[in-house]
Structures are given as structure tokens and as C-alpha cells.
Chains A and B, each alone.
Chain A
Amino acid sequence: MKTLKTIIIAGTIASSVLLSQIAEAATTIVVKGSDTLVILAQKWAEVYMSKNPDVKIQVTGGGSGTGFAALQNQTTHLCNASRKIKAKEIQACIAAFGKRPTEYKVALDGLSIYVNQDNPLKEITIEQLELIFTGKVKNWKELGGPDAPIVIYSRENSSGTYEFFKEHILKGKDFAASAQTMPGTAAIIQAIAKDKKGIGYGGAAYGVGVKHLNVKSDANSPAVEPTEENIVGGTYPIWRYLYVYVNPALDKGEIAKYLNWIRSDEGQAIVKEVGYYPLPKNLREN
């Protein structure tokens, strides 16, 4: 028992000494922020580190708000965000390091409207979505479906997806109070797959087991399917940017190189692997 303990302690000390040496030898980039982006950021870091062994990248999640707080305290180099920075956060950054953080768009995210696979509905307009999610339309019958109440599944109000949906689809109005808020896109899909009366929203690349509705901008425009081609091409109406923010004073050397690589063809190819869409070429220059 005693020897085992000694070995463990010795091992811990040795490895921590070793780690700190590696960290000193290499450039370490700390990335923190949005949970939506954490898998993508990890994948980027993994591929980038395998190509540049002298750069270490540490990625953690915690939420966009946490990332911005870390950016202000200067405990992170890069902040991932699934929403735009807010005025109050810009102010805190200016108060902390005297400059506005630089914003980089790093990927596109298309949002799909999910319903249960047994739901006969095929398409929906943005206006109908507003009426459903604000609780004005309460029965599938009003949309030409069966006579059954609509059960709304939404994301947590901490999610960037929630804010985006509220701002662009609900035009700033409140979600119906009866909307079930789910902790993630996977949870929404899980719930709708089991609930014939359910409707929800989430990433277009997700969603095995639910039906994605085709969306019309208004009653007269054509219904568009949420495919990569339509989202990147801009014909599908519900999409948003994902961002990385950086303190401009740090945006040089290895960090600037990494940020450029993220937005290169190579970095953007990885975006597709984790369920988002690459930026159109014209948006990659900042």
C-alpha cells in the first residue's frame, strides 16, 4: 500500500514537472467559451497541434458568458461565442485592457425546425413559427395537421441558439411560458422523437429520428430544405454565425497564425465534420 502511494505521488510530481516544462517550451493558446463551439474548437486544436507540435492549445467550454468573463480577466487568449458580444461585455473589456475585442466569424450554423416523424406537416412559414413559439397558435389543426395540441420544445435561455431564435423568428417577443426548455439539441431531438405533438429547433446537421420541416420566408416564397447547399448559399432563411473573440493586443504571432488557419480551407473542412457549415469564401477575410 505504502509503496503504491509513493509511486503515485512520485508519478504525479514527475508528470507535473514534465508538463510545466513542455508548457514553457511551447506556446500555449488558451481557448474558452461557448459549449456549442467546444467540440469544433477541440477538433481544430487536435488537428492543428498534430501539425504544429510546438503549439499547445487548451480548449474548455463553460458558455459564451464565461468565455467573455475570462477574456476580460485575461485568463484566456481566445473566446468562443455562439452569440455576438454584448455592449456590457465590450465595456468590461475596454475597462480591462483598453480596447474592443476583435471579432472573427469562424463558421455558419443552420437551424432546422424539427417535428415528429409521424407529423404530416411538410413545410412552415416564418410567420407561423412566430405564432407557434409565442403561444398564439396552440393546435396542429390550425396549420392543417391533426387535431392535437402543440407541445413546444425550446433551448435554455442561456443558449445562443435561443437568443438567435428569439431575435430573428419571434422578432424579440417572449417564448410561450409553456415551452419546455431543454439542455441541448440532442435532448430536443430525443424529446420530439418520442412526442408526436412536439415541435422544436436546433442544428440542421443534427436530427436523426425527427423530421426537418422545409421553411418558407413568407407565404408566397418557395419552401427551402435545410441542406448545406441552401444554408451556405443563403437561400435557407434560418442560419447564424459562430464567432471567436480575441484581445487585439494578443492577436499576433502563433495566435494570429492559428486564427488564420481556422478560417483557411483546411480549418473550414473540419467545420463540416462536427455539424456546422463552412464560411463562404468572401467572409473569410476580416
Chain B
Amino acid sequence: MKTNMHIAPAPSGHQVKQGGNMFNQNKNLQQSVGLRRGAFSRPIEYVIEKLLFLISLTAIIAIFFIFAFIGKEALPIFFGKTNSALVQEVIKPEDIDKYPAEKIRDYLGLSRSKYKKMPKDTLIMLLEVKAEAHKEIPESFKNDKDARVNTTDWKYLIMPHQWSGYDKPVYIWQPVSNIPKFNFMPLIIGSIKTTLLGILFAVPISVAAAIYVSQLARPSIREIAKPIIELFSGIPSVVIGFFALIVMATFFQEIFKYEIRLNAFVAGVALSLSVIPIVFSISEDALSSVPRSYVEGAYALGSTKWQAAWQVVVPAASSGILAAVVLGFGRAIGETMIVLMVTSASEMTWNIFAGARTITAAIAAEMAEVVFGGPHYRILFLLGALLFGFTFLANIIAQSAIAKFKEKFEGTK
């Protein structure tokens, strides 16, 4: 409206004379004047707009950089550039002149520029250290059948292998070992196990609570219940973990009489405590935002309060509830402290009353002590990338599911 008022007086004189040309001219004028107006007549708004744009851009760039960094650190595993074999070829310090420079450089893992700058006695010192490390390998392991195997090969990361000392092929995560074993499966299953348990406990409870609070409860109850449940999300996960470690583990052991006190079941229940407020809060919002006319229409057709809630409001809000579950899943699979405190036996089993070690727990617990740039370090970054992949996939699936639901219940995409 304002734009028209401003520009209107100028072309109005031409209107009578030029007739047919008027429309085009008016449009051109409006565009050029309008553009200038946007930038100069409201400078503060302009600055705010650009600032907001910059902030959102930074967030996107930050995500990109984080992923690029993780990818960069994990990449050598993809290309088979990492070698974790216990016994590797040794170049004796006195033989330094017998080998081409290229070979020495690769052997010491130095970059081209660093190698050039390095004095020869430093190179010899490096060779000495490598030779000493080789000498220190216990004799019993030197002739192990797996001593020359690069255990960061994909074959060993995913498939079971019969290591010496084991009586059958096993999936095993023993990264700190003479022969490091980096099989991902125990960690992946541990993550899935605890996350599914957490979701399984959290979703029915929180969705039921959301239906009750938003549709059935008296306003006085709703006003108390909602903030209290949401207050749950303010509990730090380390506190939940501590509570689970000391109180819940003993409590459930007395009920179920299982052998292992700290297990995936306890971790799952503890995880659900951190997931419940998220799922509750988002699905409650989704249920509350269903238009009042839907419920009134249902009442008019003679349905009870419960029928209106269950058969009309819940289906209408189902896309929102699904979104809540997906966010809850993301929270559960990314949760670190609770599972790390409650259980972390890297056992490969689907038994919920046995221990579990999640991907997040492995990264958190092991990162601080690894040799930077070593195979274990690279593997942990690869696990981080894998975790990102999991949540990314879950989000994509959920997005498409939500779109389908919307189509079904609202008739639009």
C-alpha cells in the first residue's frame, strides 16, 4: 500500500497523455524506486536482515566444516592408507642411504616439505625409534598369524574374524591391544539396542501424556503437568546417568533378578528419561495446534471426549508426533554420558540384559588417550561419520514419512 502511495503522484500526469505505455513505465519506476527504498530508507532493518542472513550462513558453514574435518580425519581408512599391523617392515638406521628418499619419507610418514627440512641425524633418530619399537614387541606376538595383518581393512571392520586365541570367528572391539581389533558391529548393535529400548519406553509414555495433557486434562491440571514434564529436559544427562548407575540399576535388578547389574536395559530406561521431555513437548504442541473446529465437529457428530481425541486429533497431528519421535531418536542415539556411565561392555549380543557399548561412548571414552593421527584415532573419526550418517538417514526417512502423512490427513504436501 505504502509503495503505491509514494509513487502514485509522479506517473499520474503521464497517465492521460500516454495511455497504453503507462503500465510498463509505472512498473519500471516502481521497481527502481522500490529497490533504493529498501536499502536506504530503513537502514536498521536492512542491517538486521543482513546480520540474520550472516548468522544462518555461519551455522551452515560450521556444519559443513565440522563434517569436512571429520571426513578428512577418517579418509585415510577409506583409501587403505592406514596400517595398523603389529609387525611391519623395518628399515635399519644404518641402511638409510640404501633406500630412495621417497621410500624413507613414506616409511616415516612425513610430508614432503617436512622431509626436506629435516636434518639427516634427525631422520636417523626417527629410524632408530622405529627399530626399537619393533624390538619391543613381545616374542609371543611376533609370530602370531595376525601380526602382519592391517586390521583397519574393511574386511576386519565389518566381518567376523577368528583371531588367534579365539575358538571361533568373532566380532570384537579391542582397539588397545598388541593386535588392535576394530570391529564396528558390537558398537553399532550396542547403539541400536540402547536407542531402541529408550525409544520403546519413551514414546508410548510421552505420547500418552501429550494426549492427556492437551486433550483430556482439566486446564488446572494441564497448567501444572506441562511445565513439570518439560522441566525434565533441564536435568543434565550426567545426573540421569548417575541416578541410573546407583539407584535404577539396583532397583531393576531386584525386580528382574538378572545377572549383570549394569546392562542395556537400565541404559535404555535411563535414556528414555532424557527422551521423554522432547517427545512430549513436541507432540503436545502438535496436538494442541489441531484446529478447535475438528474437535467441535466430532462432538457435533456425537463422539465422546476420548473418541474425539483418539480418532480425530491424533491422526490429524500424526505428522507432528512422528517428527517428535524422530527428534527423540536423534537425541537417544547421540546421547553419550548416560550410556557411558551405565553400561559399556563391548559385547556383541542382542540380549538386553547384557552390557552394551555405544558408538558415542566409544568415541567419548577413547578419544582422549589415542595417539593422534594413528589408526585408532582415524577409526574413531570414521565412527563419528557413521553416526552422522545414521541420524541423517533417519531424518530423511522421517521427512518423507511426514510428508506422506500430511498428504493423507491434510490433503496437501
Contacts and interface: CB of A to CB of B under 8 A. Distances in A.
Interface string A171-190: 11111011111110001001
Contact of B174 (A35, A174, A187): A174
14 contacts: A65-B370, A66-B369, A88-B133, A94-B125, A95-B110, A158-B365, A172-B141, A173-B165, A178-B260, A178-B345, A180-B345, A181-B344, A194-B261, A198-B261
A54 B24 CA distance: 81
Contacts of B347: 177-178
Interface stretch (A14-22, A149-157, A203-211): A149-157
Nearest to A157: B176
A190 B246 contact: yes
Interface in B336-369: 340-341, 343-348, 354-355, 357, 365-369
Interface stretch (A1-9, A40-48, A159-167, A231-239): A159-167
A230 interface: no
A191 B163 CA distance: 31
Given A65-B371, A87-B132, A90-B129, A180 B177 contact: no
A107 B245 CA distance: 32
Contacts of A87: 129-130, 132-133, 136
Interface of B: 108-110, 114, 118-119, 122, 125-126, 129-130, 132-133, 136, 138, 140-141, 163, 165, 170, 172-178, 181, 186, 245-246, 249-250, 259-262, 340-341, 343-348, 354-355, 357, 365-374
A190 B341 CA distance: 12
B368 A94 contact: no
Given A180-B262, A180-B344, 8 more contacts: A63-B368, A68-B371, A86-B371, A158-B365, A177-B172, A177-B173, A178-B260, A190-B245
Given A95-B118, A151-B260, A163-B176, A157 B345 contact: no
Nearest to A34: B369
A151 B261 contact: yes
A95 B119 CA distance: 10
Interface residues of A, number: 49
Interface of A: 35, 62-66, 68-69, 72, 86-92, 94-95, 98, 100, 149, 151, 156-160, 162-163, 166, 171-175, 177-183, 187, 190-191, 194-195, 197-198
Q: Which of B163, B173, B372 has the most CB of A within 10 A?
A: B372
Given A87-B130, A174-B165, A178-B347, A166 B341 contact: no
Contacts of B355: 178, 180
Contacts of A197: 259
A177 B368 contact: no
Given A63-B369, A190-B245, A190-B246, A172 B176 contact: no
Given A63-B368, A163-B176, A88 B374 contact: yes
Task: Name the 9 nearest CB pairs between A and B, nearest first.
Answer: A87-B133, A63-B368, A158-B369, A157-B176, A65-B369, A156-B365, A63-B369, A177-B347, A174-B174
Main secondary structure of the interface of A (DSSP, over half): mixed
A232 B369 CA distance: 28
Nearest to A63: B368
A4 to B, nearest CB: 25
A208 B24 CA distance: 90
Nearest to A153: B262
A56 B178 CA distance: 40
Nearest to B341: A183
A175 B344 CA distance: 13
A158 B370 contact: yes
B231 to A, nearest CB: 27
Contact of A194 (B175, B250, B365, B367): B250
B372 A157 contact: no
Contact of B261 (A66, A172, A173, A191): A191
Contacts of A166: 176-177
Contact of A178 (B110, B250, B341, B354): B354
Contact of B172 (A156, A172, A174): A174
Contact of A62 (B138, B173, B178, B368): B368
B217 to A, nearest CB: 38
A207 to B, nearest CB: 18
Given A64-B369, A87-B129, A177-B346, A183 B340 contact: yes
A96 to B, nearest CB: 10
Nearest to A179: B345
A95 B374 CA distance: 15
B385 to A, nearest CB: 20
Given A172-B178, A177-B346, A95 B368 contact: no
B78 to A, nearest CB: 21
A116 to B, nearest CB: 11
B279 to A, nearest CB: 28
A59 B207 CA distance: 48
B368 A181 contact: no
Nearest to B186: A177
Contacts of B125: 94, 98, 100
A194 B244 CA distance: 13
Q: Which of B109, B175, B261, B347 has the most CB of A within 10 A?
A: B261
